[in-house]
Chain A
């Protein structure tokens, strides 16, 4: 008995990583009768994946029955709060009744450990092969074409006509094989998260929820993440709450505030403390979020390989929208579809795989990234206004507007207006800002 296996060992495609993009690709290819091998470095799918807390499922719905998926709560309420570091909060809350009916705006909180494992099982049931506890360390190339991967196990090389690189934010293989540049630290955010366990009724009382309804609270301003660009969030699950902050590594490196301090301070803000007090901490985690937007996206197609999901920088973060899950699954689906077509035609070079990039560019994935492409520079150079002045101005203006005294309402309105204009630099300043941010609302 020697070490080589006696299975036929021939795969049509290898998927690196059993995260959302990888599994979506594997499921799609398996359903088109391809022999697919998914290589996951964790002990099980999900053990190495961390995210904020909300899964967006429009594409997932096309691949599986979302009702079978292990979700925690559907998002019945979205809330955006701006926090000043004097303890003020100004918030907008949306609870459209429609979100209480399926498909619940395709937004659910999930526990990645359980969801990813379930999602990978669907791919295995469809015929894909999953091997865990195995890390892909390099690509195998023959005169420029990618023909397989090398792993960290003995006898660890394995070949296939196409490799789907769905390795996540730390795309070491793609970077190592010069398929993409390592992102700049301005284009990556560090996220730290805490999961706290509560009794179910404590959560439902505290967030005014019933049944499977959940909520998604997002927070900005200096009160949330301090002197940086980023935000905080709170997502209630069935019996746990996800609490976290995410901000640019550039700021973490230069503002000498460690991610742990930023998380601690976020939790102590007067608007946040009542929502997170008590319970007991069951997990502390950290992850990186690619935020380079469409400019940082690498070439998605190569001879014998495609890149999908976080590894391709497909995350939209414009403050209002924080979306990576839908983009990962959509790109995974398109990757799988294009690879299946290429295999059927018997040609797997970049040209044969090109439809993948076209389909992704025509989908919401790249359209949204392009739409908010301006947002990054805008945020960077307008940081002080958005994160420092605006939160305080809003808080002061409200106090003026809703002041209860014996002066007239006109008095209150004009003082509130004066306070806002003071922050925006007068009418002209306000007009300029409105023009600059027109794309956010249009």
Chain B
């Protein structure tokens, strides 16, 4: 699906994800609230990497080779898309505990 609107007005700012995540207020509980139920499934069975595809914040990163996905839980915006997207139901998804995680200032 090609996008023909590269000639659009140039001062539409689309900052890199790093700057976008920098605008989100976040408190780190120190441990990940996300995990994979059975690592083996990702390595052997998964070919679609849906978790990586749907994530708006690059939390999931599927390495080549056979380790489970790398989870940058500090980026998580708590939308939950990965838990629905994974066709193997292999995403362990919990809320960050006791008030940690994102704190939206607008929402």
Residues of A bordering B, CB below 8 Å: 41-44, 46-51, 85-87, 111-113, 116, 132-135, 137, 152-153, 169-170, 172, 182-185, 188, 190-192, 194-195, 222-223, 226-227, 240, 242, 249, 252-260, 264-265, 267-270, 273-274, 276-288
Contact = CB atoms under 8 A, between A and B. Distances in A.
Given A252-B53, A260-B20, A43 B6 contact: no
B103 interface: yes
26 contacts: A42-B103, A43-B99, A43-B103, A44-B103, A46-B107, A47-B103, A47-B104, A48-B101, A49-B107, A111-B107, A113-B105, A153-B98, A170-B78, A172-B94, A188-B84, A190-B56, A223-B5, A249-B85, A252-B54, A253-B50, A257-B1, A264-B14, A265-B5, A268-B3, A277-B12, A285-B102
A116 B77 CA distance: 19
Nearest to A197: B106
B27 to A, nearest CB: 8
Contacts of B13: 277-281
Interface string B71-98: 0000001111101110100000111111
B1 A268 contact: no
A368 B6 CA distance: 40
Contact of B106 (A111, A256, A268): A111
Interface string B1-18: 111111011011111010
B17 to A, nearest CB: 6
B62 interface: no
Contacts of A194: 20
Interface in B10-40: 11-15, 17, 19-21, 23-24, 27
Contacts of B55: 258-259
A410 to B, nearest CB: 33
A251 to B, nearest CB: 9
Nearest to B48: A253
Nearest to A167: B95
B1 A227 contact: yes
3 residue pairs, one from A and one from B, having the closest CB atoms: A133-B99, A112-B107, A284-B20
